[in-house]
Amino acid sequence: MGQLKLKNKKLCKDVEEKDEKIKLFEENIKKLIEVNRVFFERIFQLNLKKNLAKEVKEKGQKIRSITVQLQEANQKNQSLMEDIDQLKLEKRNLIKDFKEKIHVINDQLKEVNTSSNKKINLIQNKVAELSDLVNYLDKLQNETDKPVHFVKLDNKLTSISTVKTCCKNTCINSNVSEGTCINNKGFVRIVDYLKVEYHSVEGKENNKKIIVFAQRPFNKPTNNSDQHLFYFEIQILEKAENQNCYVGIGLAYNGSYTRVVGSNVGDIYGCALVFPTINELKKLPFYFCTQNGNRINGNTYLLKEDGDSFRPFIKLRSCSVEINFGNDLENKPFCYDITKNI
């Protein structure tokens, strides 16, 4: 009996020791779990920092690339501004030189003997001519100093004049792309909205001038604090042999304003319309024409009335042309550099 008690007591003691060891193991396991959690959390944070550093590096490279592009753009802009300033300076110097010449001539007039009427009249006429030239240069400087805004207008050829068509029956007007004149007269067809093919027949008297209109007119801007410029070009593709070929471009408003151009195959002609600023109430819209990238005679042609909507058109006889309204300037730019007016 006594031995059983001793064994039981010993067993109880062993159980208590094992319980303590189990508790100790459990505490160690908890500590290991916590250590692992902290370890993995640090690994996660390090990965975040690594990814962040990578993103920062990539963004830094993009920023440097954009900075280089901005610097190049600023350099180009600065170069353009310097060119503009130089041109303005040259114009001012030219005007100044003319004014100085006028003063010199006026001084010479005072010294001329009153009996030399012929010489006096000659000099006075010269002074008047120079004064007119100075006024023109002043006006030109004022015009070129005003900002000009190019208006990009998607457009296409869609209709034929009921007056200037194949014949009095207007055979082709209802079917501009596939029509034919039933009276056996020369006629046109609009191809892909941007080409006009003139189909000539025998006998010059049977081929009349035909007008083709654009769909959208050039409308006067409602807020024209700047000058606004509209522009289009045509290229002569081919012309009939042994025919009296004719090509004209222009604008229609209560009548028409037409500029007759040449008919050499390959030549490119343009027509520009400029609306003055809102502050120039007394000034009418004006237009000018170009040939192969240059202004024809450098002149501008003032319109007769203050219209607010002008419809582009081309007038043809025995010639085929292609028109460029600037719908896709990136792939098909104008021959004339419109930035000369901007």
Among 271, 254, 285, 273, CA closest to 315: 271
Q: Are residues 269 and 328 in the same domain?
A: yes
Contact 190, 212 (CB under 8 A): yes
pLDDT value of residue 16: 75
Q: Are residues 235 and 126 in the same domain?
A: no
Q: Is residue 231 part of a domain?
A: yes
Is the pTM higher than 0.75?
no
DSSP states of 198-261 as a string?
A: EE--SSGGG---EEEEESS-EEPPSS-SSEEEEEEEEEEEEE-TTS--EEEEEEESSSEEEEEE
> How far is residue 187 CA from its own chain's centroid?
34
Among 259, 316, 321, CA closest to 288: 259
Q: Is residue 83 part of a domain?
A: yes
Rounded distance, CA 139 to CA 161, Å?
38
Contact 319, 245 (CB under 8 A): yes
Tokens of 210: 């035909």
Q: Are residues 318 and 193 in the same domain?
A: yes
Q: Is residue 33 part of a domain?
A: no
Q: Are residues 224 and 323 in the same domain?
A: yes
Tokens of 119: 């010489």
Give the model confidence (pLDDT) of 195-244 as tens digits: 999 999 998 899 999 999 999 999 988 876 778 899 999 999 999 988 89
Q: Are residues 210 and 318 in the same domain?
A: yes
Q: Are residues 278 and 266 in the same domain?
A: yes
Number of domains in the chain: 2
The residue behind tokens 């003032």 is: 302
- CATH code of the domain in which 205 resides: 2.60.120.920
Which parts of the chain sit beneath pLDDT 50? none
pLDDT value of residue 204: 86
Q: Is residue 109 part of a domain?
A: yes
pLDDT value of residue 95: 77
Q: Is residue 242 part of a domain?
A: yes
Q: Is residue 330 part of a domain?
A: yes
Q: Which residues of 17-31 are buried (b: 16+ CB within 10 A; e: fewer)?
A: eeeeeeeeeeeeeee
Q: Is residue 19 part of a domain?
A: no
Among 313, 321, 315, 326, CA closest to 195: 321
Domain limits for position 332: 148-341
pLDDT value of residue 291: 93
The residue among 145, 175, 209 that closes a domain is 145
Q: Are residues 292 and 183 in the same domain?
A: yes
Q: Is residue 4 part of a domain?
A: no
Q: Are residues 50 and 182 in the same domain?
A: no
Tokens of 17: 């020791």
pLDDT value of residue 307: 82
